[in-house]
Chains A and B, each alone.
Chain A
Amino acid sequence: MASAGPSRRRSDGRKPHEIRPMTIEIGELDRADGSGRFGFGSTSALASCSGPLEVRLNKELPTRATLEISHRPLEGVGATPSRALITTLESIYPSALRLSLYPRSLIQIIVQSLSSSSAPTSSTRRYNESPEIYIDTEPETTERNIWPQPPTQSALPVDKKEKSPNTSYSFSLRAVSINSATLAILDAGSIAMTHLPMAISIALLSNNDGLVVDPTTEEEYNSRARFGFAWSFGKNVSLKEKEKDSSNHMDVDKEEGEEMELIWAESEGNFDKEKFSDALELSKIACRQILSEIRAKLGETLESKRLQ
C-alpha cells in the first residue's frame, strides 16, 4: 500500500482509510420486534427482525428455528442480485444465532435497501435515453466482465453509458445490509446471539491509487477490484488456536481485547494476492471501528430509554 499515502484525499475529501459518517438507529419500526437502520453516508439499509414466531407446518424444523431472510430492493423486484445477497446473509446468521434454542418456530429477517442499486454516473440521464438498457442482455454482460477496463473508458467518464449497469449490488450496499440486519437482531433481543457480524467494503481504485475503505458507489464503479468482508466479534469465536499467539497479526488481535473471525469474503475484479491480504487487514481495522461506533451509539440510546 505504498501508493496509499495518508495525506492523499479522495473525491469526497475523505482519507483513503476513512469511513463515511455512519447512521446507526434501532427500534424505528413499531410493529416489528426489532429493527435497525445502518448507513455509510448515503448508502443505507433498514432491517427488521421478528421472532420466534409461529412457523408454517411445511417449514417447521424439529430441532431448530427456521430462519427466513428476505431482501427488498429500493426499485424493481428482487432478482438474482437480491437472491445473492440473501444467500450471503443466510451464510452468516445461522452461525451467529443460537437457533437450536427455539425449535419449531420462525425467525424472520427482512432487509430493505434504501439506496439505489444501479450505477451512479448520470443514471437519470441514461434512464431517459434508453430505459431498456436495464434489461440484462448478453453482449453487455460479457463486456462488463472485462477487467481492467480499457484505458479509454476509465479516462473518459462520459463514455460510461456504454457500459452495462451494475447487475449486482455494490459491495457497500451489501455491507450495510449485513450491518443493518445485525442491528435489527440486536434490537429484537429475543434471539440469543453468540457473536456479532460486522461488514465493510473496500475497493482497489483503477488509477493505481491503492485501496480505499468504504468506497462510494462511484468509486466502486470506477474501481479495478472490489472486496466485501464481514468479521464476527465475540468471545471464543476465533478458530485460531490460542497457543499460536506468537504470529504477528494475532498479537494485534489480542491487544484490542477482541476476538474476531472472518465470516464473509467476496471479491471481484483484477487484483493480486498481496492486495487481497492488504484489504483483509484494512477490513479488520474498519470493522473494529464500526463495532466501537455501534457500542457507543447503542449505549446512548439505551441510557436515554432507561426506566430506573
Chain B
Amino acid sequence: MSTTLVLPGDSIPLPSSSKSVVLGPGLAASSSRIPAPSSDEAPSVISTKLGLMSSAKGKERSEQFWVEGRSKRYIPAQKDMVLGTIIARHAEGYRVDLGSSQMAQLDGLAFEGATKRSKPNLKVGTLVYARVALANRDMEPEIECFDPNTGKAEGYGELKNGLVVSCSLHLCRHLLNPKFIILPTLAATIPFEIAVGLNGRVWFKTETVSESIALKRVIEGLDSGDIKPEKGDVDRAVKEYLA
C-alpha cells in the first residue's frame, strides 16, 4: 500500500496498462473547464478529499484505487453494514437514524421470517444492525435486517444490551478487516460480542461493566491516536484500564 498524501484537486497518475481500473471513494474524473475541440485526451482523475492514496488488486485483474480519508460523517452506500437507532415507527415499518443526512427506512417485513401476520415489534430507541439495501442521493436510504441471498438473518437484527461507541469511519473500516490485529488482541484478554457498523458506530457486549469501559476506552484511544494499533500498546492499555 502506498502512502502518498493527496489533497483535493491533485491529479492522480493511474497506471497506463490495459488493466481495468476501479475508482473508489475520493476520486473523480475531471475535465478541463475550457472545451478543447482538438484534443481527445481522456479526462484526468483528481482526488476530491484529503487522505492517503491507497490501491489494491480487485476482481478479474482489475486494480482498485481510493483515498483513505478520516471522515466522521456517514454517507449511505449500498451493501454497507450499519448500526442504527429506531427513532419512529409507522404502519409499514420504522424510521432509523444512521447518522447520515436523512433517516433510513426499515420495512416491517425486512426481517428473517417476517410475514404480514408476524412482524417483529421493535420499540423506539432499539438498536438494529442492518444492511443498506438502497442508497441513492435523491432518495431516503432503505435498510434491511436479513441477507436477501439467503433470506436468513446472518447476524442482522435487533441488538440487546451492550454498549455503542462512535468512532471515525476509517477505524470502523479497519476493524472489519480480518488482518487488523486489534480485535484478536482484545479477544485474548476480554471475551466480547461485537458488531461494527460502517457508519461510525461500534456495538459490543461483555460480561462485566468494567470490561465494557475498557473496550470503549481502547476504541476511543485508537481513534484519537493515543493508542498505537500495535499488539504491545493495546495489551498495555487493556491491562491499565481493567486494573
Contact residues of A with B, CB < 8 Å?
27, 33-34, 50-55, 96, 98, 101-106, 186-196, 232-243, 291, 294-295, 298-299, 302-308
Contacts and interface: CB of A to CB of B under 8 A. Distances in A.
Contacts of B177: 308
Given A103-B138, A196-B9, A188 B73 contact: yes
B3 A106 contact: no
A193 B51 CA distance: 12
Given A193-B8, A194-B46, A54 B33 contact: no
B50 A186 contact: yes
Given A103-B137, A188-B73, A52 B101 contact: yes
Given A33-B73, A52-B73, A239-B34, A193 B174 contact: no
B223 to A, nearest CB: 9
Contacts of B1: 308
B71 A190 contact: yes
13 contacts: A54-B102, A187-B70, A189-B51, A193-B48, A234-B8, A236-B31, A237-B33, A240-B34, A242-B36, A294-B7, A295-B5, A298-B5, A304-B225
Contacts of B10: 234-235
Contact of B72 (A188, A302, A307): A188
B50 A187 contact: yes
A241 B7 contact: no
A204 to B, nearest CB: 31
Contacts of B32: 236, 242
A189 B101 contact: no
Contacts, number: 134
B159 interface: no
Interface of B: 1, 3, 5, 7-11, 26, 28, 30-34, 36, 44, 46, 48-52, 69-75, 100-102, 137-138, 170-171, 174, 177, 180, 222, 225, 229
Nearest to B49: A189
A302 B34 CA distance: 35
A45 B203 CA distance: 37
Given A52-B75, A241-B36, A295-B5, 16 more contacts: A33-B71, A102-B75, A104-B138, A105-B101, A189-B71, A192-B48, A194-B48, A235-B46, A238-B33, A239-B34, A242-B32, A299-B5, A302-B5, A305-B225, A307-B222, A308-B229
Contacts of B101: 51-55, 102, 104-106
Contacts of A238: 33
What 4 pairs across the A-B complex have the smallest Cβ distances? Answer: A234-B9, A193-B8, A189-B71, A192-B48
Contacts of B73: 33, 50-52, 188, 190
A196 B8 contact: yes
B174 A194 contact: no
A304 B70 CA distance: 13
Contacts of B36: 241-243
Nearest to A34: B72
Contacts of A195: 8-9
B174 A189 contact: no
A54 B74 CA distance: 12
Contact of A236 (B30, B52, B171, B225): B30
B102 A101 contact: no
A34 B49 CA distance: 12
A24 to B, nearest CB: 12
A204 B171 CA distance: 49
A56 to B, nearest CB: 12
B150 to A, nearest CB: 31
Contact of A307 (B44, B51, B69, B174): B174
A302 B70 CA distance: 9
Contacts of A302: 5, 50-52, 70
Contacts of B74: 190
Contacts of B69: 189
Contacts of B100: 52
